[in-house]
Amino acid sequence: MFTFIDLFAGIGGIRIACEKNGGKCVFSSEWDQHAQKTYKENFGETPHGDITKIDEKEIPSHDFLNAGFPCQPFSTIGKREGFEHKTQGTLFFDVVRILKHHKTKMILLENVPGLITHDGGNTFTVIKDVLENDLGYKIFPKVINASDHGVPQERKRIYIVGFLKDKYGDNIEFNWPSADKKHKYINQFLEKHQSGYNISKHLQKSYLFKQDDGRPQIIDKNSEVKVKTLVSTYHKIQRLTGTFVRDGETGIRLLSENECKAIMGFPKDFKIPVSRTQMYRQFGNSVAVPVVEKIIHQILKTAAQYKKSH
């Protein structure tokens, strides 16, 4: 058993992955009331609100910190002056002050791959510098596509794994989970005759198929493919990035709730007590559970190995 905290918790995708690995959540934070509602319905607790207002001393001690934090530029003024200056006013600063106080042994940060090039590379450089030099972590960043790990969705995310060197030694090495040999495709998960997800004929003509450029991605029961990344604005009909289904009364519809669960690797019995718009937003902001579950498994295995030898 290990204890963890769930920061920027959303609807708890990372929490599911931790719990599947035997973790016990001792603190969660998420300020969006719709996400809080879904979280409460599934995990029985309402996450604490705005993390910037929470004193790190009030957070229980824990073995593992998870955070899929929003990425923001850092001021370049405080480059050599320690993390308070470097990260002031950003949500990463809140992650850092919690790590500094608790000396959390293991960390998993998750973000969009654009983090690497954000603000001309400065954001990622500061994150690495603060974690390694100011806080004493050995860190391992990697961009992984969830489609290699049990879901029929292209979803590339950067994962930053960190181990506190004081606990595990300077020589700790980390092996990322290997990709699945057998892949999953969307046709295994499509539902038939779903109503309520229709895209009107008018919208199809005026927007979705206005240009004959093969976009958006349209799928049906014969599509042995992976769907495109589910984005948080999917409900606004993202024709360039979206995936839509040949089905329903108007011929084309949005992905259903169950299909969203399947492409994100969420359990079938995960409850959605919010509107459809919020549902897409919440899944689009979340993580593909199976890949995170595997990464956490590897983190725990590595920690157990190096704790003994150190």
Instruction: Decide: is 260 part of the binding site for ligand SAM (CB under 6 A).
Output: no
Q: Which stretch of DSSP H or E encloses residue 109?
A: strand 106-111
* Binding segment toward ligand SAM, per CB under 6 A, in 75-83, 133-141, 219-227, 281-289: 281-289
Q: Which stretch of DSSP H or E encloses residue 157?
A: strand 156-164
CA atoms of 196 and 138, how far apart (whole Å):
49
* Binding segment toward ligand SAM, per CB under 6 A, in 48-56, 146-154, 200-208, 243-251: 48-56
Q: How far is the CB of 94 from ligand SAM (least distance, A)?
A: 7
- Cis link prior to 177 (omega < 30° from 0)? no
Q: Which is nearer to ligand SAM, 147 or 286 (CB)?
A: 286
Q: Which is nearer to ligand SAM, 30 or 63 (CB)?
A: 30
In a 13 Å sphere around the CA of 111, the CA atoms on its Cβ side amount to 20
Instruction: Decide: is 52 part of the binding site for ligand SAM (CB under 6 A).
Output: yes
Q: Would residue 71 show up in a list of annotated catalytic residues for this protein?
A: yes
Q: Contact, 161 vs 295, CB < 8 A?
A: yes
- CA-wise closest residue to 71 among 95, 100, 38: 95
Q: Which is nearer to ligand SAM, 199 or 296 (CB)?
A: 296
The residue from 204, 229, 256, 285 that contacts ligand SAM (CB under 6 A) is 285
Q: How far is the CB of 274 from ligand SAM (least distance, A)?
A: 13
* Binding segment toward ligand SAM, per CB under 6 A, in 24-32, 139-147, 175-183, 214-222: 24-32
Site for ligand SAM in 87-106 (CB under 6 A): 91
Residue 216 is classified by DSSP as: S
- CA-wise closest residue to 5 among 57, 60, 50, 71: 60
- Coil, helix or strand for 222? coil
CA atoms of 249 and 246, how far apart (whole Å):
10
User: Which residue is at the shortest CB distance from ligand SAM?
Assistant: 10
Residues within the interface to ligand SAM (CB under 6 A): 8-14, 29-32, 35, 50-52, 68, 70, 91, 285-287
Catalytic site positions: 71
